[in-house]
A and B are shown apart, each in its own frame.
Chain A
Amino acid sequence: MATAIEVENVVKRFGQTIALRGVSLEIREGELFAILGPSGCGKTTLLRIIAGFEVPDSGRVYLKGKDVTNVPPDKRGTVMVFQNWALWPHMTVYENVAFGLRLRKLPEAEIRRKVLQTLEMLGLRGLENRFPSQLSGGQQQRVALARALVVEPEVLLLDEPLSNLDAKLRLRLRGELKQLQKKLGITMVYVTHDQEEAMSLADRIALMRNGLIEQVGSPSTLYKKPKTLFTAAFLGRTSLLLGKVMDAGDDKVLVRAGEIDIVAQNHGLQKGEGAAVVIKAEGARMEPHKGRETVKIRGTVTVSMYVGAFVEVRVRIPGSKYEVMLDLPLDTPAPGPGQEVEFYVPLDNIHAYPIEEDVIKEIAEQA
């Protein structure tokens, strides 16, 4: 597929803050591309640079191969949907949606047809004459979307468009958005700090941290083959423990944490080094898995609670301050607090990396 957007080595400072430290990306035509990362990592800044609201200090932006780094936002053909939706309070729904078409000097009848068609598509018929203040949150969000879609943009940029809605509505609109994107085939760049949202929506995800991209790939690649400590720890329900490498091979590594040894996938560790081990909670069992390499983890249960579809247990690793969070299937009898138990976790879900102090601090802050 052809490249829709290319971002090349973009750096952006705001006074002392460095929002982007050299970001490069390629986004393909027709894909739903998510930019994911904790708040403050530079997602909005990156999106605004693609849209043309900010000019990078260095680096370039290309749309369909054309250098647009200094092209103002109104001449780019990218349309943005804002976190607060930015509906014009002095215009009705109809006028809001028609605005972009009027700029394109279409005949009034044509405008009317397109506006009504788009409103229809988004389930907003009948609300044409309302003002934004007379709409519910979900309706406002859809109007914002309609206003953007009606001009049939080549690229749609969305900055956390669902974050101001309640959880239920968010889920529903997420599904609708995905359908719409596939139906219309437009390129969408979707910024979010919600990993579930990114995972469920995106064809590909760029995970960002601190002004840099950690990893780009499909949701399952990022989840299953995290290249960095941050990617591993950020995605999914994870625990982090620190230990020392007792033995290291190309693929696997043996790490001593507290009084136990844990086998993990090796991401560049050498024998004798300190290691940061990320364990995903998902897929843990009370007995070894069949046909899958599993790792034994022993410890004392401190908490055990039902969380909907599974039981969450927290296990203290003997001889350490670390607790590992594990999700057990509902059908296993869950061990109670105080019990010393052995658990089995698929090796796929355990990753070990060299220690990066700043990442560990950041992860700790988010937990």
Chain B
Amino acid sequence: MSLERLKKAVFHPTKSDLEIVIFLYLPLVFILLGFVLPLLSTILSARGWEVFRDKYYLDLSWDAFSNIVEYKTIRNKIIITVKGFDLGVIGNSIVNAVLVTLTATLLGSSVAVLVGFYRFRGRRIFAALAYVPLLMAPFVNAYIIQRFVNPTLGYNTLSYIISKFFTEPLLGKTVIISFKNQAGVFLAQVLMFYPIVYINTLAALAAIDATLVEQALNLGARGFKLLRKIVLPLIVPGILAGSTLVFILSLEDVGGPIIFKYHKFISYEVYQSVAYQATQEIAKVASLSLIMLVAALTPLVVARQYLSLRYYARLARGAPRPFYGLKLGSKGYVLAYLIVLPIIMAAAIPQFGIIVLAFSERWVGALPDLLPADKLFTNFEALLSIEGIRRSILNSLYYLGQAIVFIAVLGFMAGYATARARLPGATLLDTLTSTPLAIPGLVVAFSYFVFFSKHNLGGFFDPQNVPYGVVHLLVLAYVMRRIPFTVRSVFTSVIQTPEELEEAARSLGSRRFRVLARIVLPLTWRGLIAGILLSSIYVLAEVSVSVTIGALGGDIYSSDHLGPITFALLQLTTMTTLVGGTQPQAKAAALAVLLMILEATVITISSRLARRGQALITV
């Protein structure tokens, strides 16, 4: 029967309406061919299962835990080196992601409950500080954390603070504490990703209707019991949405492994196979990608009764009358200021560190060396004067300009069709437009690289075809990975507009095309623009594809490389010298500041557009 309807719809377009058919099937075909096909065909060809027998990839012996912490004393120096475990590439990726997720969930949700459910002095400061880590500054943020906790020669910043302010004056001893290897990556990821749980939980809290809580208070529920019985069940979907996302981000993160120079992670293996075109390893890397993909999807499948993928990219509506908070008791104050505030501040370190570094010459010792007042903007000037960096900014804008056209048009079509079409394929489109959010970007990058090396429409998408093939692939990847934000945003706006408004016009004799132009667009443009803005910002901050496929056009020493901003950030943070006096990392920080300013602006505009009472739930 539905097949008949499909036939009717497609072959008698004058009888049905052609517009909805196009709106539904054009994006559907586009995603099937441009995303699903390359991914499936690559991933399903995985054959390199020897990775499970190789100790480098998987080591489940007790040796794995033999080196977690080293402790030495040399005269009055206490040297503590935390290295974490080594379970091999696969084991590290998965166990590290689990630990990062658990820690981030615990931190993020407790901070959110404190800030979102209690009233206390300084709550606004807590809340504002907790948003800071959401500003994405790939690689540079990990670099700042690395500066704080990693170097063993001399002081790192953390050891400096501990020794100078506590142990030296009090005990006469110097403490050098250093996080390396898996432990370093773990720490960096927790600090980078815990705000995702925080913000999702906070949004779920904001959607709780005050009457619910007041009812419980009336019935005598207090304190922990109130939280556990009433509040927790209501925010579980928010927490889960955040933590499943953290899990995926941890799995696909290459910033941590690269910056902490510890490469035994799946993400790094996949990254280097594409960025350095290690084509002989394809069978093995395909297997690793498949493992990463399965691992990333597992929590989603397990938690699916509590959340749908849509949850990630939506703008949540606040409660009709949100709860304004319980008064925090004195024990709570102690907890808030002694434990929670330091955590929030620690998580904001990278962003503040980046700002400081952007105005510094270098950061080699415990503290950065600020630039003299008359040369304060040296690093920012370098962004324009050094050709390779300027090129990366122009590249980003050029790719964005192309991607955004597709994202806007296809995203609007798909968002409208998923809300309105009652044709076969509508649910499939709904699922497919959310799926890219759950697919690790490196899996996309690797699949594209392999698939389009073979099938590339006469070189149009060929990654070896520099520059055009690379450019087209990058744009395609950006469209696919970032279209969900626009689709969800449009979908939400359309759903909130009663369908009768469209039907009234239809029944007066208006074709759907005119209905779209005169009724739908005027009523949903805010959602469309908000979605496009969000998609744009995530295009600019995209890492996985940018540093792999984006690396195929050469590095930033050359003036006509193809890498976007995030690629430049990676290269600047990992290189040792570059013209212009200051450390390359300081220039990276300046570039990151630029990116963060853009992000802050866009996120502000976008949540304004999405109207009152709505909170942004996403990364």
Contacts and interface: CB of A to CB of B under 8 A. Distances in A.
Contacts of B64: none
A274 B553 CA distance: 89
A62 to B, nearest CB: 15
B16 to A, nearest CB: 6
Interface in B464-507: 498, 500-501, 503-507
A86 B501 contact: yes
Contacts of A79: 507-508
A72 B508 contact: no
Given A53-B503, A57-B1, A70-B15, A100 B509 contact: yes
Contacts of B1: 57
Contacts of A255: none
A72 B15 contact: yes
B8 interface: yes
Contact of A73 (B5, B12, B506): B506
A264 interface: no
Interface of A: 51-53, 55, 57, 70-80, 82, 84, 86-90, 99-100, 103-104, 144, 147-148, 151, 157
User: Which 9 pairs show the lowest CB-CB distances between chains A and B?
Assistant: A100-B508, A86-B500, A86-B504, A80-B507, A73-B506, A82-B500, A70-B15, A90-B522, A103-B509
B503 A70 contact: no
6 contacts: A79-B507, A80-B503, A80-B504, A88-B501, A100-B508, A103-B509
Contacts of A103: 508-510, 514
Given A57-B1, A72-B16, A84-B498, A78 B507 contact: yes
A322 to B, nearest CB: 41
Given A53-B503, A99-B510, 18 more contacts: A51-B503, A51-B507, A72-B16, A73-B503, A74-B506, A74-B509, A74-B512, A75-B509, A80-B503, A82-B500, A86-B500, A88-B504, A88-B505, A89-B501, A89-B523, A99-B505, A103-B514, A147-B504
Contacts of B281: none
B225 interface: no
Main secondary structure of the interface of A (DSSP, over half): loop
Contacts, number: 75
A196 B583 CA distance: 85
A70 B498 contact: no
Main secondary structure of the interface of B (DSSP, over half): helix
Contact of A70 (B16, B500, B501, B505): B16
A104 B571 CA distance: 62
A73 B507 contact: yes
Contacts of A78: 507
A74 B510 contact: yes
B508 A99 contact: yes
Contacts of B514: 103
B295 interface: no
A53 B506 contact: yes
Nearest to A70: B15
A78 B507 CA distance: 6
Interface string B39-53: 000000000000000
B123 interface: no
B15 A84 contact: no
Interface centre among A71, A72, A147 (most CB of B within 10 A): A72
B519 interface: yes
A46 B283 CA distance: 59
Given A72-B16, A84-B498, A90 B523 contact: yes
Contacts of B523: 88-90
B511 A84 contact: no
A88 B514 CA distance: 14
A104 B510 CA distance: 9
Contacts of B8: 70
Contact of B498 (A52, A74, A86): A86
A82 B509 contact: no
Contacts of A144: 504
B17 interface: yes
A100 B500 CA distance: 15
Contacts of B503: 51, 53, 73, 80, 82, 86
Given A53-B506, A103-B514, A151-B509, A71 B15 contact: yes
